[in-house]
Amino acid sequence: MDTRKVKAMEIRLDELSDDPITREQLCQEFWEKGMKLLEHARVCEKWQEEKGAGRARELHKLRQERLFNFKTRLAQIGWSDSILENINWRRFPTMNHSNASTSSRASTRRKTNSGPCRRV
């Protein structure tokens, strides 16, 4: 929690009289806000997990497209299908990149300011 918010809560508590009803109402209000924040955090965590899974699928697809492009280019210059199918493509560091073989790396980046996890 933001230190300014904690300080504001401390000031509000200090300003209260010794009236237990008023203190109880304030504590209830803080508890309810905390529960809403906790629920929002759960929604954000679920959204982030789903986004990560979608991103993983997208990167896998880009790697597959990259491999297809490499194989196509090699076939065009005379490599046989039997050779292309027997190569362990994972040995080559460039084959582990998710960016397309003809595009820049920036094209695979995403903005992260979307979804439910904007500042509450």
45 occurs within a structural domain: yes
95 token code pair? 């084959």
112 occurs within a structural domain: no
Percentage of the chain with pLDDT > 90?
A: 15
Kindly give the residue spans of alpha helices, DSSP state H, lying in 1-114: 3-15, 20-76, 81-85
Q: pLDDT class for 59, splitting at 50, 70, 90? A: confident
Report whether pLDDT(48) > 80.
yes
The average confidence (pLDDT) of the chain is 77
25 occurs within a structural domain: yes
pLDDT at 45: 92
Residue 93 domain boundaries: 3-104
Q: pLDDT class for 58, splitting at 50, 70, 90? A: confident
22 occurs within a structural domain: yes
109 occurs within a structural domain: no
59 occurs within a structural domain: yes
| pLDDT per position as a tens digit, 62-118 | 888 888 988 899 999 998 888 888 888 877 777 766 665 444 444 444 555 566 666
How many other C-beta atoms lie within 10 A of the C-beta of residue 66?
Answer: 21
Q: Based on the structure, what is the number of domains in the chain?
A: 1
Candidates 88, 93, 95, 105; CA nearest to 66 is: 95
Give the SS3 label for residue 50. Answer: helix
111 occurs within a structural domain: no
pLDDT at 84: 84
pLDDT at 54: 84
117 occurs within a structural domain: no
The reported pTM is: 0.44
Q: pLDDT class for 28, splitting at 50, 70, 90? A: confident
